[in-house]
Amino acid sequence: MIKAGIVGGTGYTGVELLRLLAQHPEVELLTITSRGDAGMAVSEIFPSLRGAVNLVFSDPKDAPLEHCDVVFFATPNGIAMQQAGKLLQAGVRVIDLSADFRIKDITEWEKWYAMEHTSPNLVVEAVYGLPEVNRDLIRQARLIANPGCYPTATQLGFLPLIESGCVDLNTLVADAKSGVSGAGRKAEVSSLFSEAGDNFKAYGVSGHRHLPEIKQGLSKAANAPVWLTFVPHLTPLIRGIHATLYARIKRETDFQQLFEDRYADEAFVDILPPKSHPETRSVRASNTCRIAVHRPQGGDVLVVLSVIDNLVKGAAGQAVQNMNIMFNFNELLGLTQIPLLP
């Protein structure tokens, strides 16, 4: 049994962490912090957790984080990089769900996130927490940079093609759509029901913060620079990422078999039969990524469809998966929930 703490527990990823960890047989939830809601019972804000989580939100300065075995940061960008170092010195392992440690090039990170990075030494140490790529490094890590939601769906969809060298690295396209929970729980006009409902729009076409993260992962897999056109869209969904990925064929192979072989031992990646069309609702509330491979009209462009729940495999579920690996638990522990339907 390990003790876990959560910093920043009032957002959507925070409550998703609570939901998953409360059901984990090897985890005791020790503390959860919130400056604005300190002293309030978790179940007051999240009634779905009544009877499952009996904690009260603590002010970060009073929370016994240093007595935890692992601390999750479910905070806005810029917080974990200021606080993780002290916890690591105390022997606590850290899993950061923000973007503070994902991008290895500090100058590039500061360009996209418009702030100075205060812990570049920790960026060097941090392990990028995509288990399907870095499982061995995750097992030994003190600090995990949990991947973003768009990067998870996109990288898992492209990786078999790039690792095998069978597609052109200069013509990759990711056309990705997200539910509104991806924008967080903060109040913004664009996330209001009357703004996001019955609507569909692209955003960040000239550049999105997840682009350098995706390119970094794909370039590492290719051992060469990768050019990617990435266009995100906002859909009138609460949960879900749907990434439609395009790659031009450079070398013929059995592409369906390529994907099946690559993910044969991955419990949370499901390669669907040929001609399938994965739906976001088929992964809702689960840690599963479902993928289908298409070759329209037998042409020279492959289309890969990749779907995840942005709050689970795209955030909290992947963080728990990383925790399981770090502490040598069964990787599926606490993550075997069947997707919700309808």
Instruction: Output the CA angle 162-163-166, nearest 5 degrees.
Output: 55
Residues 258, 247: Cα–Cα separation, whole Å: 15
How does DSSP classify residue 179? -
**Sole residue written with tokens 């990089």:** 81
Q: What does each C-alpha distance from 274 to 46, 271, 279, 303 come to in angstroms?
A: 41, 9, 15, 12
Beta bridge partners of 293: 304
Residues 229, 175: Cα–Cα separation, whole Å: 8
Active-site hit among 68, 149, 166, 289: 149
How does DSSP classify residue 170? T
Determine whether 68 is an active site residue.
no
H-state helical runs in the chain: 12-21, 42-45, 80-89, 106-113, 120-125, 131-140, 149-164, 193-196, 210-222, 255-262, 317-326
Output the six-digit token pair for 35.
């400056």
Which residues are known catalytic residues? Answer: 149
